[in-house]
């Protein structure tokens, strides 16, 4: 039991553990601590299958020059990958997190210590609420890598999953993929 109005050491340890757990959770949500997320690399598998089937994978410089003259917008899709894009926060998450953090933080300590913990809780909660709101509003964008016939590489970003696959011959018109005719 506490003597002279001071909390017991066990209560202090519990408070520190809660603060550390909260900081780790905020770091994980905001991406400071990377997550173990992997994605199948269909592009690599498709390229390996092409090589096994005996399809030529390397063009001569002369062939590229002739093709480039024929179609400057033409190319072949090298890779397609999904990328998560954080959304825009409106501030509601920051306000809710700040209020919650202030209430929880002010439950610990006495006098000016209680005030300090309330302020720290409000700041931490506001930051966490802001990041959580951005994560809730996140979306998926598709990054498409196209090897152009002239040998250059173009990266395109699309909000919807492309209707093409790795290895497909395409045209890039005004930043969008079009089937090659």
For the stretch 50-92, pLDDT in tens is 555 555 544 555 454 444 456 888 889 898 888 887 777 788 8
CA distances from 34 to 30, 37, 87, 133 (A): 9, 9, 18, 19
- How many domains would you assign to the chain? 2
CA–CA separation, 181 and 178 (whole Å): 9
The answer to the question of residue 47 being in a domain is: no
Same domain, 81 and 121: no
Same domain, 61 and 95: no
Range of the domain at 114: 1-38+88-137
CA–CA separation, 181 and 179 (whole Å): 6
Put simply, whether the predicted model's pTM sits higher than 0.85 gets the answer no
Same domain, 24 and 96: yes
Q: Which residues contact 57 (CB under 8 A, 6 or more apart)?
A: 47, 50, 51
Same domain, 19 and 7: yes
Same domain, 81 and 99: no
Q: Which pair of structure tokens corresponds to residue 146?
A: 């196209």
131, 144 contact by CB (below 8 A) = no
Residue 162, Cβ density class (10 Å: 0-12 exposed, 13-18 middle, ≥19 buried): middle
Phi, psi at residue 178, to the nearest 5°?
-130, 145
User: pLDDT band at residue 42, thresholds of 50, 70 and 90?
Assistant: very low
Highest average pLDDT, of 17-21, 26-30, 87-91, 122-126, comes from 122-126
Same domain, 9 and 75: no
The answer to the question of residue 44 being in a domain is: no
Same domain, 129 and 161: no
Q: What is the pLDDT of residues 129-169, one digit of tens each?
A: 888 888 787 788 888 899 888 888 888 888 888 888 888 89
Q: How many CB atoms lie within 10 A of CB 119?
A: 14
Number of helical H runs and strand E runs in the chain: 5, 5
The answer to the question of residue 62 being in a domain is: yes
15, 108 contact by CB (below 8 A) = yes
Q: Which pair of structure tokens corresponds to residue 29?
A: 């949500």
Highest average pLDDT, of 3-7, 31-35, 64-68, 155-159, comes from 155-159
Helical segments of the chain, H only? 9-30, 42-52, 61-70, 92-105, 112-136
Q: In terms of DSSP bridges, do strands 176-179 and 139-148 run parallel, antiparallel, or are they unpaired?
A: unpaired
Res 49: pLDDT: 52
């Amino acid at each position: 039991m506490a003597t002279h109005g001071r909390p017991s050491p066990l209560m202090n340890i519990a408070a520190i553990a809660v603060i550390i757990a909260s900081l780790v959770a905020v770091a994980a949500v905001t991406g400071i601590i990377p997550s173990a997320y992997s994605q199948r690399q269909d592009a690599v598998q498709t390229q390996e299958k092409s090589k096994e089937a005996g399809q030529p994978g390397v063009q001569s410089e002369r062939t590229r020059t002739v093709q480039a003259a024929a179609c400057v917008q033409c190319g072949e899709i090298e890779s397609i990958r999904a990328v998560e894009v954080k959304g825009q926060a409106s501030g509601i998450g920051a306000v809710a997190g700040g209020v919650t953090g202030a209430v929880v933080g002010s439950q610990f300590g006495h006098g000016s210590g209680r005030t300090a913990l309330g302020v720290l809780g409000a700041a931490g909660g506001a930051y966490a609420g802001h990041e959580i709101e951005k994560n809730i509003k996140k979306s998926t964008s598709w990054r498409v890598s196209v090897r152009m016939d002239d040998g250059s590489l173009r990266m395109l970003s699309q909000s919807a999953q492309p209707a093409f696959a790795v290895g497909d011959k395409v045209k890039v018109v005004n930043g969008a993929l079009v089937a090659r005719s």
